[in-house]
Amino acid sequence: MLIRRRRSWELPEGAATPESVYLSRRHLLGAGVGLAAGATGLAAGLGWPAEAATAPGDPANDPTKDLYPAKRNPAFTLDRPVTPEDISGNYNNFYEFGSDRRNYQVADIAARMPRRPWTVKIDGLVEKEREVGIDDIIRAMPLEERLYRHRCVEAWSMAVPWTGFPVREFIAFAKPLSSAKFIRMETFVNPEVAPGQNRFVYPWPYVDGVTMAEGMNDLAFFVTGIYGKPAPNQFGAPLRLALPWKYGFKSVKSIVRISFVDKRPVGLWEQVQGREYGFWANVNPAVPHPRWSQASERDIGTGERRPTLIYNGYGEQVAGLYAGMAASEQLFM
Ligand SMILES: Nc1nc2c(c(=O)[nH]1)N[C@H]1C(S)=C(S)[C@@H](COP(=O)(O)O)O[C@H]1N2
Ligand SMILES: [Mo]
């Protein structure tokens, strides 16, 4: 995602990051893992070597591959062609692995990330906090395939067949207390495999979240696969979110922690640039980003520009969640 200075990470951090939140975050990081990783990070930031995929990062070795392809749920249809895999798989926002989505960099570096062992911590306002192996979660869930649109806040879009399970099913598995109001999701931190995490302008880990009501909505989906196979790493393996009515940055990738909380989580992009990226982030062509219009989008598959739809075309399913809330609030609140 663009921040005010495109290459702010190349500048001394003090010059690039006016907001005090970075400074306090940086101190926290510097006290711990950040310092140790810093030396390699600075060198790596200038040109990351693209190593071949190692076996533990290869989706062909995924221990759940017998579950694919999952049955398609016919309730979710598209108004546009499915984006070819060689396009969507090489145009990825995943800042842990680099900030240039337009070449193979992100996919190549992400391929080095080991997919196992992988656990998800379930904590906060739940009956019992626990850490569960990803395979135990995936095998407990009813996998299905859904065709979804995806609209990035940067005005590009794609349409893909995700495989996964409704967030609602996971909520039942996690057993939250009735005091839970929000679900907060967090990405792994491992600067050794994710060189982008050596850039302290970003307050890692990547975090975002939804309200309990949003999580219970039929459209809220946890993704484990794409194109009928376990998802390649750059899509956020082994577990990512898909919230097709919201801008793409809400769809946290490579999740290691899911917390049920009573306070609204503050996402990474909201921390970095709160005037531009808010909690609700519902797709709305009538509410421009402060620096560009959201009226249309570029389909990365066809290359065509098409009008952006309110709630990315999913208003029938989700508009009720926001009754009485002004459109402008839905982006910035
Ligand atoms: N952990 C993490 N999750 C993330 C991001 C990221 O940089 N890190 N980028 C977000 C953004 S801005 C978008 S548009 C989508 C991109 O998903 P895709 O690469 O599968 O298209 O992932 C979202 N989830
Ligand atoms: Mo995005």
Q: pLDDT tens across 163-172, in order?
A: 999 999 999 9
The answer as to whether 127 is a domain residue is yes
Q: Taking residues 78-101, report their average pLDDT.
A: 94
Q: Which of 3, 9, 88, 93 to mutate to test the pocket of ligand 1 (most atoms within 8 A of CB)?
A: 93
- Asked whether the predicted pLDDT for residue 146 surpasses 60, the reply is yes
Q: What is the pLDDT of residue 103?
A: 65
Range from 49-63, 238-252, 264-278 carrying the lowest mean pLDDT: 49-63
Ligand nearest to the CA of 237: 1
In this predicted model, what pLDDT tens digit does every residue of 177-225 receive, in sequence order?
A: 999 999 999 999 999 999 999 988 899 999 999 999 999 999 999 999 9
Q: Is the pLDDT of residue 15 over 90?
A: no
Is there an atom of ligand 1 within 6 Å of 187 CB? yes
Of 34, 54, 74, the residue at which a domain comes to its end is 54
Q: Are residues 40 and 134 in the same domain?
A: no
Q: Is the pLDDT score of 327 beyond 90?
A: no
pLDDT at 6 over 60: no
Residues 230 and 248 in one domain: yes
pLDDT of residue 37: 37
Residue 51 has pLDDT above 70, yes or no: no
Q: Do 151 and 198 have their domain in common?
A: yes
Q: 258 falls in which pLDDT band (50, 70, 90)?
A: very high
Domain that holds residue 141: 64-330
H-run or E-run covering 48: none
Does the pLDDT value for residue 94 go beyond 90?
yes
Structure confidence at residue 39 (pLDDT): 34
- Tell whether 163 and 183 lie within a shared domain: yes
Reading the block at residue 329, the tokens are 């609030």
Whole-number mean pLDDT of the chain? Answer: 86
Q: 238 with 308, same domain?
A: yes
48 and 68 housed in the same domain: no
CB 154 within 8 A of CB 298: no
Q: Is 27 exposed, middle or buried (0-12, 13-18, 19+ CB in 10 A)?
A: exposed
Mean pLDDT of 271-298: 95
Residues 28 and 120 both lie in one domain: no
Among 103-117, 120-134, 207-221, where is mean pLDDT lowest? 103-117
Q: Are 309 and 318 in contact (CB under 8 A)?
A: no
The phi and psi torsions of 20 (rounded to 5 degrees) equal: -65, -20
Q: How far apart are CA 45 and CA 141, in angstroms?
A: 39
Residue 328 Cα to ligand 1 middle (Å): 23
pLDDT at residue 76 tops 60: yes
- Is the pLDDT confidence value at 127 over 80? yes
47 and 140 share a domain? no
Note the ligand closest to the C-alpha atom of 153: 2
Q: Let me know whether 147 and 286 are in one domain.
A: yes
CATH value at residue 85 = 3.90.420.10
Residue 326, pLDDT score: 80
Binding positions for Mo-molybdopterin: 92, 95-96, 152, 187, 240, 251-253
pLDDT at res. 41: 37
Does any domain span residue 90? yes
Q: Is 14 domain-assigned?
A: no
Closest ligand by atom to 208 CA: 1
Contact predicate 198/42, CB 8 Å: yes
Evaluate: CB of 267 within 6 angstroms of ligand 1: no
Whole-model pTM: value is 0.85
Is 2 among the domain residues?
no
Q: Tell me if 266 is assigned to some domain.
A: yes
- Quick check: CB of 206 below 6 Å from ligand 1? yes
DSSP character string of 15-47: HH--SHHHHHHHHHHHHTHHHHHHHHHHHHTT-
Closest approach atom of ligand 1 to CA 156 = 14
- pLDDT at res. 331: 64
pLDDT for 99: 84
Lowest model confidence (mean pLDDT) among 49-58, 115-124, 285-294: 49-58
Domain co-membership, 29 together with 166: no
pLDDT over 70 at 5, yes or no: no
- Pairwise CA distance, residues 276 & 291, whole Å: 9
**Residue 308: pLDDT above 90?**
yes
- Ligand 1 atom nearest 234 alpha carbon: 19
**For ligand 1, atom 23: residue with the closest CA:** 249
Average pLDDT estimate for 42-55: 42
Residues 152 and 85 in one domain: yes
Give a yes or no: residue 4 inside a domain: no
Query: For the chain, how many structural domains are there in total?
Result: 2
- Cβ of 215 closer than 6 Å to ligand 1, yes or no, is no
User: In sequence order, which residues have a C-beta less than 8 Å from that of residue 158 and are 6 or more positions away?
Assistant: 83, 87, 88, 91, 149, 150, 299, 300, 301
Q: Report the separation in Å between the CA atom of 150 and the middle of ligand 2, taken as the mean of its atom positions.
A: 9
The answer to whether residues 301 and 319 belong to one domain is yes
